[in-house]
Chains A and B, each alone.
Chain A
Amino acid sequence: MSLFRLFRPQASAPVARERLQVLLAHERTFCGRPDLVAKLQEEILEAISKHVSLDAEHIKVTTVRGKTISTLKVDIEIPSETDNLREAG
């Protein structure tokens, strides 16, 4: 390992990986519909926003393409109550 590792900028490959996963989920045709993932993200956001204040960045929809099945993964970050209070105040 390099002596200079500490002074280097942080590893960038994990960032690339995550950006790709999110991007491709939106670009891929899912269940034969090219716009399905974006639509799902929109509607999930709408449903949750009725109860918790959220914006689009808190919902991450990714797809994983498999041989026989594809999976859809939805990550929803709900801000802790203190954050909500701060926003309200």
Chain B
Amino acid sequence: MANVVVVTSGKGGVGKTTSTASLGAALAKTGQNVCVVDFDVGLRNLDLMLGAERRVVYDLINVIQGNAKLAQALIRDKRLDTLSLLPASQTRDKDALTEKGVARVMKQLREKFDWIICDSPAGIERGAILAMRHADTAVIVTNPEISSVRDSDRIIGMLDSKTERAESGGDIEKHLLIARYDASRIARAEMLGVDDVLDILSVPLLGIVPESEEVLRASNLGAPVTLSNPVCAAARAYQDAARRLTGEAVAMSVPRDRRNLFGKLFGGKAA
């Protein structure tokens, strides 16, 4: 049975699109059919993360308005044939997303794929609500930082009230993904730790992704980090998180402070 996942956060810039692409590629690598859907109409970026920006012909809005068939809008990844992208429109705005249209597209996607991963826009408006509307599972991306945690709390409230599952009296499965984790700053108590964030938000942890240059490199290259450098710490964190999403029990690894003794003595960062 298909599983619809929304990757959401409230706040912008915390790593939703990176996480959507990385989790999507990690799941697709296991042979399951995955579609990543960009709900950020007007500010699409998921196509860039997947290196598919020049292959976009039709988009989600075209499908919603009936100007294109779903199959025409889907872009299959060149590296992984189990991974597809449904891009957002760059020239329209979020008002072009209609409740009925989104429902119809999600229903069609459920028939074709094992996993449908919806990349939510930032904010709490129409685009974000429609991205979470049909989800079975939510991945809440949070940075260990005060404004990100506050916004995540708000989004959790909306997941519990505005989704189809919540409205029908059911429960949406929620997972917390801590991204941009800076072990050395957390060790110095300059940043909220994992326990702080978990205590405050009370959502089970899906994974901890360390702040990493590899993630930036991956976006420069147009490949999810789980494909461009699958052995780096960030990619491993995403791969483990993807396995946990499928229900597998994987031991949680907390990124360590990788500064050497010199760095610790003088407060700098390891090279």
Contacts and interface: CB of A to CB of B under 8 A. Distances in A.
Q: Classify chain B's interface size.
A: 20 to 34
Interface in A12-34: 12-14, 16-17, 19-21, 23-24, 27-29
Contact of B264 (A2, A13, A17, A29): A2
B172 to A, nearest CB: 13
B188 A11 contact: yes
A78 to B, nearest CB: 27
Contact of A24 (B190, B200, B265): B200
Chain B: interface secondary structure?
Answer: helix
A13 B196 contact: yes
Interface of B: 145-146, 149-150, 153-154, 156-157, 161, 186, 188-193, 196, 199-202, 264-267
B191 A27 contact: no
Contacts of A17: 192, 196, 200
A65 B156 CA distance: 11
Nearest to A29: B157
Nearest to B193: A13
A67 interface: yes
Given A2-B266, A21-B200, A66-B202, A16 B192 contact: yes
Interface of A: 1-4, 8, 11-14, 16-17, 19-21, 23-24, 27-29, 64-67
Contacts of B149: 20
A13 B182 CA distance: 13
Nearest to B146: A16
B180 to A, nearest CB: 15
Contacts of A20: 146, 149-150, 192, 200
Contacts of B196: 13, 16-17
Contact of A27 (B154, B186, B192): B154
A64 B266 contact: no
Contact of B266 (A4, A8, A14): A4
A4 B150 contact: no
Contacts of B264: 1-2
B264 to A, nearest CB: 6
A20 B145 CA distance: 10
A30 to B, nearest CB: 11
Nearest to A21: B200
Nearest to B265: A3
B189 A13 contact: yes
